[in-house]
Each structure stands twice: as C-alpha cells, then as structure tokens.
Amino acid sequence: MERPPADRITQAELSHLKAAGEKSKDAIVVYETAKRSVLAKVREGLPVEDGDLYPVLSTREEKRVTNAEIARLMGPEVLEEMRAQLRPTVSESLKVECRAVVAPPAGPAEPETAGGLGYRRFSRAVNHFAIAALAILATAGPARAQQLPTGRAEVVTTEPRLGSVVANAPIPAEMHIRNEGSDVDGAGLCVISSILANGMYQGVPGLESGKGSELWKRAKAEPGGYYPEKLEKLLKEVLPDEKWFSWEGEGTDLVRAYNAKGYPVGSTTNTGELYEGKPVHHMISDAHLDEAVACIIDNNDPGKYRWVTAAEFARRFPDGGKGWGFVWLRLPPGLDDSLYYAAALLLASAALLLPSNLLWLMAARNAYRASTAVRPS
C-alpha cells in the first residue's frame, strides 16, 4: 500500500494497462493521480506511493501522463514494453481506458465451518461480556463517561472500549503489530502489519509468533507496498490452506457486516490525525464499526484504539476512489465457559452494588444478543 520504487511499475498495473490497451484506439495512459502531484513529490524528494502510480479502475476524470514522464518515473524499458504490447499510434501519448477489476459481492462470504459453530459464536459473545465485566471491576466506581467522537475528530483510548461501547473485535494491545519498512526497498508493510495482528487475534495457524511468522519474514525480505494481487500471491505461497476474503468497493457495508460478527477487518484509510489530516495510502485494522462509531488500530501507533464516527470512517475508507478490505474467514477463539458465567455474575453484582454501572450490564447484554443472533442468509 505504501510505495513501490519510483523507477518501475508493478506487474499488476502493467497487466491492467495491457488488458485495457488492447481495446483502446489512441493508446494514451490514463492515471487517476494528477501528474502534478507525482512530479511535486519527486521534486520535493518525497516517496512516490503506490496510490500515486496505480492506474484508474473507475473514474470520471482522465489524468494524462506523457511518454517522457512514463520513461522517467518508471523506466524506459517499461515504456518500450508498453509500446510493443499496446500497439500505439504515432501520437505523443499512450491511451488506456482502465476498468474495474473486482466487483464487491452482494454479501459477506461465509467461512466453511464444521461442527461446534454454536459454541464458537457463544464464545465470541463471551469476549464482549467478560471485557465489559472486567472493565467495570477495574474502574470500581461510577462508570466513566467518555466523550464520543464528533465531526472528523478522534478519541484515543488504551483499551478497546469507549464509554458503553465495547469493540466487536477487541484485539489486545500485545497483539498489535508496528509497521516497518521492507528490507529490500524500505517501502512500508502496513497491509502485512494489519492482517498479521488480525490473524493473531483470530488464531490463524502460523501467525502466532507475530513478527517471527513466515508471513512477516517473507514480506520483510521482499519489496514492500501491497495491493490486492500482490497480497494474494504472497498468501497463496505462505498460507495456501487458509481461507480469507479480499474486496474493493466504495462503501463500508461489508466492513460493518464482517465486524458485527466479530471479525477484525483490514481496511484502507486515506488520512488520520496521526498524519495531520494529510492524504496517505495506508491500511489499518478495524476493530469496530456500527451505525455510530468505528474503532481503528493503526499499525503506525500500536497499543492505542482510535475512535471516529462511522461517517468519518466511511470518508477515510476510499484510497484512489475505492476502498480495500481484507478479512480472515476464521472466528477468533473464545474464552472458557466458566469465565463467561463468572464474568456475568460479577457484572450483575457490580450493577446491583453500583447503580451507575447498570448501563454496562445492559450494554454487555446487548452485545451478547447481537453476537448470538442468527446469521443472515
């Protein structure tokens, strides 16, 4: 996601350009990012990021880059290959009419499950109940009112809750992964960092050791900057038997649908307070998304939970016109049943002893009911 080397184009981009170019007459390369943005970064010595060079998949406005600029930014060999493959005319530029590659499905893909699904769903609900109960006992007093986010502002917490809202996928801080650059080209590994943290929380086999996992080691030893096709190739090599789902789209409905079932979702974001509101090409872990608020775990600032309004999350989701979501199709392992009953008893006792904590009991009960609701068909 962060940045490929500025002197070459990715193979996925080239394949899109070739496929679209075969249907075009004039053959002028169309890019989503205005050339002035790319050239300004080059002049200022800033990294040219993946989103800057990635070709338009769906757009209403054409941005043209001349042959000379293609040769300078991506290398003369790329230009020559494009010329040979696209059979351009003698015009000054190449033309490619880019098209959507991945259409989001009608609804969330469901994992294949064996027996014991009821227990797994029940155990996931236990997480919500237990976290709420233990949070009350830890505070031992009137429930602390926390300001909900408004507008574009963020509210930062050190635990996966905000007031009465407990994150649907409360990834513990010790499982957060800090983003690093590739050992090959220094390009960031935000995509790998996010899906690694999610996978550790969900119990994906092979990811238990975090940065000691084969997934992380392979990513560090290869060029950074990930997009759907590149990630797919890596996962097929490292985790060929693990089920996952990746999609591109404009809305956040799928993010919310998966998250409501307890799945953390790797989601693109185009800005944030960490970046002073400036545009970025980045992936985070979405720990919670409902009709009101979202909880973000940013791998550039692990150990914290950043809460924003659902509207602000939706505004940040698109990266170059479309957002990208990734989810492991494996429910996180739950807590032991005995802990559930103990937590429920303690929570009820706390609510009786401290009437102000009754809100917590109601919130945890609602989370339990939502988690054990019948799956939509």
% of the chain surpassing 90 pLDDT:
45
The amino acid at residue 248 is: E
Of residues 257 and 355, the one with the higher pLDDT is 257
User: Lowest mean pLDDT: which of 74-78, 238-242, 337-341, 367-371?
Assistant: 337-341
Average pLDDT over residues 299-316: 97
- Domains of the chain, CATH where assigned: 11-86 (no CATH), 117-328 (3.90.70)
User: What is the pLDDT, as a whole number, of residue 66?
Assistant: 62
CA distance 151 to 162: 16
**If you average pLDDT over every residue of the chain, what do you get?**
72
- What is the distance between the alpha carbons of residues 370 and 294, in angstroms, rounded to a whole number? 17
297 within 8 A of 197, measured Cβ to Cβ: yes
Question: At residue 70, does pLDDT exceed 90?
Answer: no
At residue 290, does pLDDT exceed 70? yes
pTM: 0.57
Residue 147: pLDDT band with limits 50, 70, 90 = confident
- Among the residue ranges 82-86, 206-210, 332-336, 371-375, the one predicted with the least confidence is 371-375
Question: 148 vs 61, which has greater pLDDT?
Answer: 148
Residue-level pLDDT at 361: 54
Angstrom CA distances, 129 to 13, 64, 153, stand at 46, 54, 28
The pLDDT of residue 344: 56
Segment 263-288, tens digit of pLDDT: 999 999 999 999 999 999 999 999 99
In single-letter form, the type of residue at position 371 comes to S
Beta strands (DSSP E) in 139-205 are: 155-157, 161-162, 165-166
Residue 253: count of CB within 10 angstroms of its CB? 14
Pairwise pLDDT comparison (27 vs 350), residue with the higher score: 350
Measured CA to CA, the distance from residue 313 to residue 320 in angstroms comes to: 15
Determine the residue type at 55: P
Instruction: Answer yes or no: are the C-beta atoms of 69 and 35 closer than 8 Å.
Output: yes
Assign 110 to helix, strand or coil. coil
Of 154 and 21, the structure prediction assigns the larger pLDDT to 154
Q: Which residue has the higher pLDDT, 261 or 15?
A: 261
The b-or-e profile of 109-118 (16+ CB within 10 A means b, else e) is eebeeeeeee
Predicted local confidence at residue 151, as pLDDT: 86
Q: Which residues pair with 249 in a beta bridge?
A: 323
Q: For residue 120, give the DSSP letter.
A: H
DSSP letter assigned to residue 117: H
Judge whether 50 and 32 are in contact, CB under 8 Å. no
pLDDT of residue 205: 96
Instruction: Tell me how far apart the alpha carbons of residues 175 and 81 are, in angstroms, rounded to a whole number.
Output: 44
Rounded-to-integer distance, Cα 314 and Cα 194, Å: 18
Beta strands in the chain, from DSSP E residues, in sequence order: 30-31, 63-64, 155-157, 161-162, 165-166, 244-249, 265-269, 282-289, 293-297, 305-309, 323-328
More confident residue, 40 or 201: 201
Is 50 exceeded by the pLDDT of residue 117? no
Task: For tokens 């609510």, name the residue.
Answer: 351
Higher pLDDT, 74 or 25: 74
Between the two ends of the chain, the Cα-to-Cα distance in Å is: 33
